[in-house]
A and B are shown apart, each in its own frame.
Chain A
């Protein structure tokens, strides 16, 4: 079903269109929310809240910008509100302390070796179609990204998962394009540092 048709149907109050839109975007919304709030349950709650807001506010969406830009603006603001309420503050400086902690090494513990507990159960649920090596790579990457500040984590997620351009991310986060570019650059640098603690980049690529 065409996304544009779904939006028209949703504007007419059709709930089945909301369900279809959710199927299309919920994993992406959840992934971005998870970068910001860092925990599965609140990220799921935020995902629900986002789609409730979409349902209520769909008439305020004008086709001037992409639907996903509008959607992820809601996601970003909902997450910020959540963090404000919980008074959670992540800062750039937290990265350095994270890098020095042994939990980074523990969280990135090996490509081949697998154990009884894995946060992948929490994050990924059951994924059948991805090979185990690829699966591990996803886990390693997401855990490494979660060591970054939430701003860098969100920018990287929007850029690589949702494939937004820098200007679209700038619109979503209400931040100048050059700041987004700088954060993207530093995010990659920080990620490299986190990954190089355990692997060579060639090994992962």
Chain B
């Protein structure tokens, strides 16, 4: 009589049926009650295990997990804050432009306009490179003056810019930040 079926051969039978066995083993099985009993018991447990169902986890697991991640639960809210920040940014930008057009600043502007006339007189003497350098330094001076005079507005403007930037960065690079 040939050897009994080993564990792997019985497993093959459970998984793929009798045809998976070699002809020698199939023949052995026909004449061996011990092997048939082993297979029958395995098949019984097998069919019992097929009835298994997964166990259920607490329903609020995702919410608990969000607390662990410390991230905003809804993207929709993020998008709204982005839109609000954008509108406020535009509003403040326009406001700054409008408030700069007061009569007083208009007079200042008129005085400033005389500068090109002065340059016109000396246009033969001064080279263009020098003019550009001058213009650039005036621009820097006025920018600095503007920043100093409108600290609060600049601060708000900067904060809104940071909010917008955060949302852009968060959307595109969140996966890297949270690594």
Interface residues of A (CB under 8 A from B): 11, 13-16, 18-19, 22-23, 26-31, 34, 44, 47-48, 51-52, 55-56, 58-59, 123-125, 127, 130, 134, 137-138, 141-142, 156-157, 159-161, 166, 178, 181-182, 184-186, 188-189, 191-192, 195, 201-202, 204-205
Contact = CB atoms under 8 A, between A and B. Distances in A.
A125 to B, nearest CB: 5
B54 A31 contact: yes
Contacts of B41: 189, 192, 201
Interface of B: 7-8, 10-11, 14-15, 41-42, 44-58, 61-62, 64-66, 68-69, 71, 73, 75, 171-172, 174-175, 178-179
A120 to B, nearest CB: 9
A30 B57 contact: yes
Contact of A14 (B42, B57, B75, B172): B75
A47 B58 CA distance: 10
A123 B53 CA distance: 12
Contact of B73 (A15, A48, A191, A204): A15
Given A34-B55, A141-B52, 11 more contacts: A22-B61, A22-B62, A52-B65, A55-B69, A124-B55, A124-B56, A138-B51, A161-B52, A182-B8, A185-B42, A192-B45
Contacts of B56: 27, 30, 124-125, 127
